[in-house]
Amino acid sequence: MTAKPGYLYRRPSGIYVVRICIPARFRTAIGRGEVHVSTGQRELASAKILAFQTLAEWKTRLLRLERMDVLKLDAGSPLLGGDGFLSLDRAAAAIGLTAPELAAEAANQGEDLYVFADSWQCAVVNDIRELDRDYDGAVMLDHALEKGHETRLLQHLILPDSRAAAAEIASTGAFSECRFYFDSERRRAAFVDMPGVTVAAHQILLHKAAAGRIGDVLRARLTPQMIQGAREAATREAAARPIAAPPGHKHAAMRASELVAIFVKEKTEAGRWKADQQKKMQTVTETFVSLMDDPTLGKLDRPAMERYRDQSRRLPGDVYQFRRKHGSHLTFREVADLAESLGLSDRTKESIERNVGYLSEMLAWAVHSGYMPENPARTVAAKRSKGRQDKNQRDAFSPEDLGRIFGADWYQTGRGELTSEGTFRTYRPHYYWLPLLGLYTGARINELSQLYLDDIRQTGQAPGFSASIWTPPTRWTKMTTKL
């Protein structure tokens, strides 16, 4: 039969093959004008299904070539190559790809993806060949956890399947796994009990040397036509972009650190800040100055605020504890660099937006005081929600959670276990009553904790209680009168 572009033909052996025509602009990068992929099927119906999957994969690959930053890839980056690690998203930005695209390319080129085990409790098995296997050849996790040596790890580990990680990152932005390897031999492994460890895309690491090799391979696929087309597109985009007027206000040369010093001094001397507010604002402003290399006020515009937000994503969730662990002398930029290399850049979106809001308060003061013509963070800072604060957020209990709570001994026997002295050491009456009352009434913990025996009511056959703000007139009421 005559081969049709992107369709099936049948070989003399009876196997169906899908033929894919490569567009002319990609032929140098791919190395061929046509690609023929066997489906391995002799039945047309099943061959069509596999052909559809193959076409989708190749279309994704060609779209990746279409979208990648050709000029950035052609120019290269000093971040690539050498020792150490880069987070997947930062390495992708340096190459000119997205994080899922770089993960897929790493899998295609056989490069390992890493994660930093930050005090993970693991079972270490020196040789996984000694472990029992399931019917599909997979290692049996129960046997690994039983045979392995329990330890707490603080080091880089290799993800077991870069291709599976790339697919999961592309669909969910994270990757979950129970098994990790210590080295490329893939014999010594660390196992984590179910449900495993969920690693966000920004916590997945790529060795700098591997990132350099991937960049070299992609760069070799670029054609002169692709580079020229990218340059022309960049020129057209630059011509269409409005030219910003140079900063002309009289404080344009002032450094951000100088503005911060004036701001903090004025607010402190005016007595408008309490100690915790002063500490919070000093931390936010110090973070901004460090991450942005102390820019002049003339360079503070909306793109600068966006860069600050992006830089903030590289910080760990708890900078104070991170500094205690890795060195209190570290600047915020050094903290961000180290956290990123360890895969611990996990600052939440809410925390970042909150800090941008605090920074916007300082810049609004700068506008009011005549140091700046406008507040560049005003439109960047998200409006603060008047809803429930992060610290008050609560997740609903799952059936498993409830099973663990009400599986305690005192719910089985009706009382706690006595010690040899005839006293309770691991049991108190409120351990029994508070969860039960919360389960059946939905009352808050503070409402239940203030109950007295006098609050118990019974209407007919239905017992209940009255939760009121009334308390007995004497604060020394004996414990026996309380619930």
Are residue 88 and residue 212 in the same domain, yes or no? yes
Q: Does 481 have pLDDT greater than 50?
A: no
Which residues partner with 434 through β-bridges? none
What is residue 1's predicted lDDT score, i.e. its pLDDT? 34
- As given in the structure block, the two tokens for residue 135 are 């019917």
- As given in the structure block, the two tokens for residue 34 are 């046509």
Please tell me the distance from the alpha carbon of residue 290 to that of residue 301, in angstroms, as a whole number.
17
Are residue 284 and residue 309 in the same domain, yes or no? yes
What is residue 477's predicted lDDT score, i.e. its pLDDT? 38
Q: What is the largest CA-CA distance in the chain?
A: 98
Do 210 and 86 meet the contact criterion of CB atoms below 8 Å apart? no
**N-to-C CA span, the chain:** 86
Using 50, 70 and 90 to split pLDDT, how confident is the model at 242? low
Q: Please report whether residue 185 resides in a domain.
A: yes
- Amino acid of residue 170: A
For residue 224, cis peptide bond before it (omega within 30 degrees of 0): no
Which residues partner with 153 through β-bridges? 120
Q: Please report whether residue 230 resides in a domain.
A: no
262-275, pLDDT tens digit by residue? 888 887 777 777 77
Using 50, 70 and 90 to split pLDDT, how confident is the model at 384? very low
Please tell me the distance from the alpha carbon of residue 52 to that of residue 216, in angstroms, as a whole number.
31
Are residue 63 and residue 132 in the same domain, yes or no? no
Using 50, 70 and 90 to split pLDDT, how confident is the model at 468? low
Query: Please, where are the H alpha helices in 97-161?
Result: 99-108, 141-147
Do 290 and 332 meet the contact criterion of CB atoms below 8 Å apart? yes
Using 50, 70 and 90 to split pLDDT, how confident is the model at 63? low
Q: Which of 350, 352, 334 is nearest to 342 (CA)?
A: 334
For 189, the enclosing helix (H) or strand (E) is strand 189-191
Using 50, 70 and 90 to split pLDDT, how confident is the model at 68? low
193 or 397, greater pLDDT: 193
Please tell me the distance from the alpha carbon of residue 112 to that of residue 34, in angstroms, as a whole number.
30
Q: Which of 219-223, 236-240, 278-282 has the highest mean pLDDT?
A: 278-282
Query: What number is the average pLDDT over the span 402-422?
Result: 73
Do 285 and 362 meet the contact criterion of CB atoms below 8 Å apart? yes
Q: Does 369 have pLDDT greater than 70?
A: yes
Percent of the chain residues past pLDDT 90, beyond the cut: 0
Among the listed ranges 87-91, 201-205, 239-243, 282-286, which one has the minimum average pLDDT value?
239-243
102-133, pLDDT tens digit by residue? 888 888 888 888 888 877 888 888 888 888 77
- As given in the structure block, the two tokens for residue 369 are 């005081």
Q: Which of 250, 228, 461 is nearest to 369 (CA)?
A: 250
Q: Please report whether residue 245 resides in a domain.
A: no
Residue keyed to tokens 């998200």:
382
Domain boundary among the residues 67, 90, 116 is at 67
Task: Kindly give the interhelix angle for 275-291 and 302-312, rounded to the nearest 10 degrees.
Answer: 100
- Amino acid of residue 417: E
Mean model confidence pLDDT for the chain: 75
What is residue 309's predicted lDDT score, i.e. its pLDDT? 84
Are residue 209 and residue 99 in the same domain, yes or no? yes
Q: Does 246 have pLDDT greater than 60?
A: no
Do 172 and 77 meet the contact criterion of CB atoms below 8 Å apart? no
Do 151 and 164 meet the contact criterion of CB atoms below 8 Å apart? no
Are residue 108 and residue 24 in the same domain, yes or no? no
Domains in the chain, number: 4
Residue keyed to tokens 């987070």:
87
* Triad 246, 249, 255: Cα angle to 5°: 90
Q: Does 46 have pLDDT greater than 70?
A: yes
294-309, pLDDT tens digit by residue? 888 888 888 888 888 8
What is residue 260's predicted lDDT score, i.e. its pLDDT? 84
Are residue 431 and residue 348 in the same domain, yes or no? no
- As given in the structure block, the two tokens for residue 221 are 């696929």
Are residue 182 and residue 196 in the same domain, yes or no? yes
What is residue 47's predicted lDDT score, i.e. its pLDDT? 82
Are residue 352 and residue 476 in the same domain, yes or no? no
Domain boundary among the residues 26, 46, 67 is at 67
Are residue 326 and residue 466 in the same domain, yes or no? no
Query: What number is the average pLDDT over the span 9-33?
Result: 73
82 or 142, greater pLDDT: 142
Q: Does 243 have pLDDT greater than 80?
A: no
- As given in the structure block, the two tokens for residue 231 are 């340059």
- Looking at the whole model, is its pTM more than 0.85? no
- Amino acid of residue 448: L
Using 50, 70 and 90 to split pLDDT, how confident is the model at 61? low
Are residue 427 and residue 330 in the same domain, yes or no? no
Q: Please report whether residue 117 resides in a domain.
A: yes
Give me the phi and psi of 18, to 5 degrees please: -95, 135
145-188, pLDDT tens digit by residue? 888 888 888 888 888 888 788 777 777 778 888 889 988 888 88
Range of the domain at 408: 399-481
Q: Please report whether residue 443 resides in a domain.
A: yes
Using 50, 70 and 90 to split pLDDT, how confident is the model at 230? low
Q: Does 432 have pLDDT greater than 70?
A: yes
Q: Please report whether residue 321 resides in a domain.
A: yes
Are residue 192 and residue 277 in the same domain, yes or no? no
331-341, pLDDT tens digit by residue? 788 788 788 77
Give me the phi and psi of 139, to 5 degrees please: -65, 135
Please tell me the distance from the alpha carbon of residue 16 to that of residue 320, in angstroms, as a whole number.
61
Q: Which strands sit side by side in the sheet containing 16-21, from one edge to the other?
A: 7-10, 16-21, 34-38
Using 50, 70 and 90 to split pLDDT, how confident is the model at 480? very low
Q: Which of 7, 37, 6, 10 is nearest to 21 (CA)?
A: 6
Are residue 176 and residue 142 in the same domain, yes or no? yes
Please tell me the distance from the alpha carbon of residue 474 to that of residue 188, in angstroms, as a whole number.
66
